[in-house]
Amino acid sequence: MTIEGLISQRLRLPSPPAIAVKILEAVKQDNVSMGQLADIIASDPALTARLLKIANSSMYSLRYPVASIDKALTVLGVNVLKNIALSFVISEELRGCGEEGFDIDYFWRRAVTMAVAAELVAKFVGQPNDEAFVTGLVADIGILLLQRDDPVVYRELLDEHCRRDVPVSVVEKERFGFDHAELTATLLANWGLPDKVTVPVRFHHAPAEVQGKWQDTVEVVHLADQLSAIYHGSDMGRKVSELQALMTSRFGLSQPAVTMLVDSVAEKAREVFASFDLEPGEMMPYSQMLEEANEELREMNLSCEQLVMELKQARERSERLAGELRQTNTRLRELVLRDGLTGLYNHRYFQEMVDHEIERVRRYGGCFSLLMFDLDHFKAVNDRFGHPVGDLVLKNIAEATVAAVRASDIVARYGGEEFAVILPHADSAGLRVFAERLRRTIESLATEIGGEKIRVTVSLGGTVFEAGSSHLEKLTVIDTADRALYQSKALGRNRVTIFPLEGSRRNGTEH
């Protein structure tokens, strides 16, 4: 059975509004004048006022205000004004379709946002379309007809859509044999609207099913639907990311350009809402929402996990802020992973990076070296000069070590007066050269307090993790370097010892 046959079995389609019929019949005539169309529109004073209001809005950015329908027709053209008029007439006709429990204002806010988005997307991607606004506005009115026909059944259908987490059109086809997009397209075709409107409406939830001349037009309405869902749904961050990826791959738009488009939709939709007697509520541009979210984060003194949770609670429509707040989270992670005294990476980050280097060598080959060193007789420094001076010595040694390493190396405070250096791609020879150079650097370093110079030495121990050692675990690597360090202490301190991973202390080398 055809879609039309299935629809006729299910419900009776409403007749088009009388003034819509007059407008459509007039524009079909080859010899229709602007004056005739203006007279039809002017016969409805409320429609005239709404038309002039939206014609003077930022949607069309006219250089001069228009004060009459005749002037609006001259500036905007017959097609644009016809479609704006139809948008108002159709929305007014169906405004009362909401049954109890159905949020009719939410439906029309989403529809108007989609209309504005369709108009903007068409311009953004270089496919201006006079029918874009009205197509976006009426694309989902089949939902109104289905829920009006049987509110209980459609409420159950919506509950099933949420429970199964599948598109509502999937559940509609299972229940009725058709979905609301097919119903909408059939209704608009019966009302006499052209294929430029009915085809994009029919396929805007399934753009992959369309090829050829309608493909770009359908895709514009599909993107408009996604843009509207960003502001009238949940999971905003994921939807914005998906939209950015799609518009970049399909139309070559940069991320800033897509963000500008997303913001423009909210700004212009809020202005157009008033023409449809709708309240904008809390709707605001995406970038403004991010700014406010970041401001809230700056005022919170919480961990990363608490920050995300707090923000989720504060903003119900922002369920996944991690993507949008990546830079803030990176800064917070940096604070969490730094040692408060020396500014070096802390023990937790050290452990993560040893895991990272082991995984890198296992996957790609190569090697990395681990060097650990401990201050000799540091307790005597603290006992004689006090802990604040001891802290200063630790800071100076940390700075000297950072200055001695490569940009790719990682210096961490392992704990107390013990430090560690991870050297990616450094083999045994490179480790020996670096360790000895670092030992001499620290040995020559002096911390001056009250005219007295404090000097300390360090004992160093290291090992090398190579592809041939990939079966060994992290604990073995750290333990080997640590044993080498204590071998240096046992041999008199202020020296370097390197142990191979699978060797014993006797197999090591000492300098």
Residue 389 — φ and ψ, nearest 5°? Answer: -70, -40
Question: 136: closest CA among 91, 178, 183?
Answer: 91
Could you count the other beta carbons within 10 Å of the beta carbon of residue 93?
A: 17
Angle CA(430)–CA(431)–CA(437) in degrees, nearest 5?
90
Q: What is the distance between the alpha carbons of residues 414 and 423, in angstroms, rounded to a whole number?
A: 15
Longest CA span, the chain? 107
Contact in structure between 268 and 284 (CB atoms under 8 Å): no
Q: What is the distance between the alpha carbons of residues 137 and 395, in angstroms, rounded to a whole number?
A: 65
Residues near 302 by beta carbon (within 8 Å), at least 6 away in sequence:
310
Contact in structure between 23 and 29 (CB atoms under 8 Å): no
Q: What is the distance between the alpha carbons of residues 295 and 282, in angstroms, rounded to a whole number?
A: 18
Angle CA(477)–CA(479)–CA(484) in degrees, nearest 5?
100
Q: Which residues are catalytic?
A: 417
Question: 179: closest CA among 215, 146, 219, 220?
Answer: 146
Question: 89: buried, middle or exposed (CB in 10 Å: 19+, 13-18, 0-12)?
Answer: buried
Amino acid identity of 9?
Q
Question: 183: closest CA among 131, 144, 135?
Answer: 144
Question: 371: closest CA among 503, 494, 463, 470?
Answer: 463
Question: 467: closest CA among 382, 395, 359?
Answer: 359
Q: What is the distance between the alpha carbons of residues 200 and 197, in angstroms, rounded to a whole number?
A: 6
Residues near 12 by beta carbon (within 8 Å), at least 6 away in sequence:
none
Q: What is the distance between the alpha carbons of residues 455 and 446, in angstroms, rounded to a whole number?
A: 5
Q: What is the distance between the alpha carbons of residues 315 and 289, in angstroms, rounded to a whole number?
A: 9
Q: What is the distance between the alpha carbons of residues 168 and 160, in angstroms, rounded to a whole number?
A: 9
Contact in structure between 7 and 186 (CB atoms under 8 Å): yes
Measured between its terminal Cα atoms, the distance across the chain in Å is: 89
Sign of CA dihedral 71, 76, 79, 83: negative
